[in-house]
Structures are given as C-alpha cells and as structure tokens.
Amino acid sequence: MATPVETISPLQYAARIIRENPVIPLILLLCALVGLLEGLQPGIFNERWVGNTIRFAIPLAMLAACQTLTMLTGGIDLSAGVVATVSAFVVATLTPLVGGPAAIVLALVPAVLMGLVNGFGVGICRVHPLIMTLGTGLIGTGCLQVYQRYVINTGSEIPGFFEFLGTGRTFGMPNALYLFVPFAILILWGLRRTGFGRLLYALGANENATRLSGVRSWQVLMALYTVVGLIAGITGLLYVGIIRAPSLSLANSLMLPSVAAAVIGGTSIFGGRGSYSGTIVGALILTVLGTLLTLLQIPEGARRLLFGAIILAVTAVYVRITDQS
C-alpha cells in the first residue's frame, strides 16, 4: 500500500518554516525598518548608529527578559520598572556614602526583596500576578520617595564599573555587551537546557498537570519572581550607567515597552510559548522604531499613536502566523 505523497506548495512550505522559527519574520521586519531608515536618511546606517541602537536596546531587552520569564508561566511583572528605578536610585545615592561595591550589593537587596514578595503573593497566596506586581510597584514607588528625602543632601555618584559598561566602547560596540552577552546566553541556555527552564514552560502550558506530576509550583514561582527581581535590579544599575542621571522615574518609561518587546517577540501572554531570542529582536525593533519616529519629526502625540498601532499590528500578524497549527 503506497502512502499518499504529501504535496505542499512553496508558499505553505515557507509558512511552515516561519511557524517553526518565529524569529525569522521578526529579523526580516527589523531589516526592513533599518532599510526604511537608511532610505529616509542615507548614511545613517554606520557603526556609530548601530552601537548606539544596541546600547539603548540592551536595558530594554533585559527588562523584557523579566516579562518573558514571567509570561512563560502565564504571569507578568509590572513592578520590574519600579524595581529597576529603585536599584538605580539607591546605588547612585549610596555610592558617595559607602563606596561602589557595597552600594551595588545594597541596591540589589530591595530588588530581591520585592521579587520575594511578588513570589510569595503569586506562588503561595495565588494572587493574580498582574495585581500583585502592580501593588508591589506602588509600594516600591512610595518607599523610594520616602527614602529620597533622607539622602537628598548626599549627592549622587555612579559606580565606575557601571559607568564603564554604560558609556564606554570597545571596537565601536558598547561595553554593555560585556554584561548582556553572558546574560542572554545564560537565559537562553537556562530556558532550553535546564530543568528550571522547562518547568516554566510546563507551568505555563498546564499548571494543574504540572502540579499533578509532582512539581511544587509555589517553589518554582517563588524562585522565578525572585530571580526576575534580581534581573530588574541589575537592569536598573546598567541603565543608570547609561543615562548617568538618577531620578525617581528613571526606568519607569521602559516598563510598558518591555512588555511590548516580549509580546512582539512572540511570547504568549497566556504562558507556555515563547523564547528569549524573539524578545531580544523585539527590543531591537522597538528601539529602531523609536529612532524612526523621532527622525520623521512628527509631533509627540502622533508618535505615541503610531507606536501603539505598530505594536498592535505586529502582534496581530504574528498571532495569525503562529496560531494556525
């Protein structure tokens, strides 16, 4: 009995490749955006511009890692922006008092604490992550403002290490890559090859089934949100090195774009599906898009409008491509 030969048209074949490698259309979109930019302003695509784009995409991509990891379990971390801001502000104000290394450690303490509280609420009390992280974000902002009044006279200084990472260049590429490349490899490897990474996917795909197969989901969630808090804290340290001016709302403007970067990168907000490589490309797309909209010199209102519309359009197309299976 001869098996019927499956005939597929080249178009279907292409669609299948895209579905199995969802990063490809994103990279194509990124190239198209860069091409458009080059067409609008010939000569902009040079080493300096690429370096700058990468430099500003890195904090976004790191904060978006928080969103990717939590979204894989069906959650979200809306406190990440506040956590980053708190760490950045604390490190900048404590460095003149206690020196760089001690300040870095002290700055990461609130980040881990907020992550722990998030993990406790989400993992043990079963609070919806959206609400839990909104609440801790609110508390964090309040605490930061109270803290600010005690250190108002100390002035601010950024540890030399993070200033080196944030502003320096090696061979034209930003030094922040020294931090980001190992970080990205760690996340990519962790998600694909370690048990913890697979547990995240499993929890997001079907929490009850995962629990019934003997996984203590609260431990996983607790560990996840603590790690995510730490990542957000480190992002804050790097970001203050790039911006070099600590403020009480430093990284808050990165918050919603970080969710957008993860979503554009193909991570499902319901959990169980997504990858960090997509998120990195998503962060690059958003950064290039920001440059493009600035370059067009359209008013601020229209810029935000287009930003939102493009996020929605990309996600809609993406859902259509990947959801057919």
Partner 1 sequence: MTRFLTRHSWSLGLFAILVILLVATRIIQPNFGASGLDSLARAALPFAFATIGMGIVVIAGGIDLSIASIMAVAGVIAALLMQQMGDASAGLVVLIVLLAGVAMGAINGLLIVLTRVPDIVVTLAMLFVWEGVALLILNAPGGTAAPWLRALVVGGVTIPGLPPELTAWLPRAFVVLVAFTLIIWLPLRRSKLGLSIYAIGSDQNAAFRSGVPIGMTRVAAYAFAGLFAALGGLSITLSTGIGEPIAGPYLLASVAAVVLGGISLTGGRGGLLGPIIAVFILRTLRLDLTLLSVDPNVTTIIEGIIMVAVVMIGGLLAMRGPR
Q: Where do contacts with partner 1 occur on this chain (CB under 8 A)?
A: 76, 117, 121, 125-128, 130-132, 134-139, 141-143, 145-146, 256, 259-260, 263, 268-270, 299-309, 311-312, 315-316, 319-320, 323
CB of 121 to partner 1, least distance (A): 5
CB of 123 to partner 1, least distance (A): 11
- Which one, 18 or 188, has the nearer CB to partner 1? 18
For residue 252, give the amino acid letter: N
Two tokens, residue 316: 């809609």
- Which one, 263 or 284, has the nearer CB to partner 1? 263
Alpha-carbon torsion (17, 22, 23, 29), positive or negative: positive
Count of Cβ atoms closer than 10 Å to residue 171 Cβ: 6
Contact indicator for 291, 307 with CB cutoff of 8 Å: no
- Which one, 129 or 174, has the nearer CB to partner 1? 129
Nearest to 273 by CA among 190, 195, 206: 206
Backbone angles phi, psi at 268, to 5 degrees: -80, 135
DSSP string, 134-183: HHHHHHHHHHHHHHHHHSTTS-----HHHHHHHH-EETTEETHHHHHHHH
CB of 269 to partner 1, least distance (A): 5
CB of 139 to partner 1, least distance (A): 4
CB of 273 to partner 1, least distance (A): 12
CA–CA separation, 93 vs 61, rounded Å?
A: 25
- Which one, 151 or 306, has the nearer CB to partner 1? 306
CB of 9 to partner 1, least distance (A): 25
- Which one, 106 or 143, has the nearer CB to partner 1? 143
- Which one, 32 or 130, has the nearer CB to partner 1? 130
Backbone angles phi, psi at 173, to 5 degrees: -100, 145
Count of Cβ atoms closer than 10 Å to residue 118 Cβ: 31
